[in-house]
Amino acid sequence: MVNTGGREYLLDCLAAIERTHPEGVEHELLVLDNASGDGSAEAVREGHPDVRLFALERREGKADNDSRLLQAATGRYCLLLNEDSELREGAARALLDALEGDPGAAAAGAQLLTSEGEPTACAWRLPDIPWALAAAVFSHERVAVQSTGSEVREVGWVQSSAVLVRREAAEQVGWLDGDFFVYSDETDFCKRLHDAGWRILFVPDARAVHHDQLGTDAAAMRRRIVEFHRNRDLYFRKHGMKLTRLVWKLCWTWAYLVRAVAAAVLPGRDPRRYLLHAQQELLPGRGEGIREAAEAHNRGRAQ
């Protein structure tokens, strides 16, 4: 588990692990506290002395956090969880069965649920031109979302909020890439696994509530949008996808601008959010994102 300032979520996550862990499966618990400052590390030490705790003094990116845990783990399989994820009964067993039943699969993602218990999109095709073209005509969800159906299926990439990873495969591709501070880190990870001959699975019977604590933080929304587009652009540049990058930029900028116009006349909508998306899609190198917020946090702790 990676925790960044989510003490109560983390404690609920740990309780859910113990409540739902499948019988007869040996396991260890590793928690990385990302320089939270809210008493998270102390709460783990006091309430969960069996946990291997990595309490960082400086805040790092999500990809580096997950890589640190994967490298430290001793098991054949590593279940990566956000602190605001809660496993439902049978989730770990279903993910484990999926990987043990498919030796060519490197990762298995759970069906994520909202805080209200509703399924949410959590597995997608890898970003490509068809996805971008679908966005231009506002049908991208039908084309891109792959977290559908009732059977285990191969997908492009899965969200890392609740994903079981075959440690051997992660080591083979060099873990997650720390250049992706947050966002697109799991997309890049899954693409590299695909390129190395592994499969990525979506497991609908494995369910986990993802509270998405950052989704309620309006002050951080701008930084999240900046970071999202910065890292999606990095993904295209890293993998030499020049044409896809161009088509993606044109199609998504158009889609965001149309949404901004619609939001200007619809009640309860904020066109500024879509305009910011359009701006960052065109110029992903502009603005301050979550990386800069972490750097400011680190400077504050050092003073």
Share of the chain above pLDDT 90, in %: 94
Per-residue pLDDT at 213: 57
Question: Rounded to an integer, what is the distance from CA 134 to the centroid of its chain?
Answer: 23
Instruction: Give the whole-angstrom CA distance, residue 51 versus residue 147.
Output: 32
What are 131-171's pLDDT values in tens digits? 999 999 999 999 999 999 999 999 999 999 999 999 999 99
The answer to whether residue 202 scores a pLDDT higher than 80 is: yes
Per-residue pLDDT at 218: 62
What are 33-83's pLDDT values in tens digits? 999 999 999 999 999 999 999 999 999 999 999 999 999 999 999 999 999
Domains belonging to the chain, first-starting first, are 2-215 (3.90.550.10), 217-302 (no CATH)
Give me the count of residues in the chain: 303
Mark residue 265 as left, alpha or beta (left: phi above 0; alpha: psi -120 to 50; beta: remaining).
alpha
Other CB atoms closer than 10 Å to residue 49's CB: what's the count?
Answer: 8
The answer to whether residue 216 scores a pLDDT higher than 60 is: no
Q: Confirm if 283 and 275 have CB atoms less than 8 A apart.
A: no
The answer to whether residue 212 scores a pLDDT higher than 80 is: no
pTM: 0.95
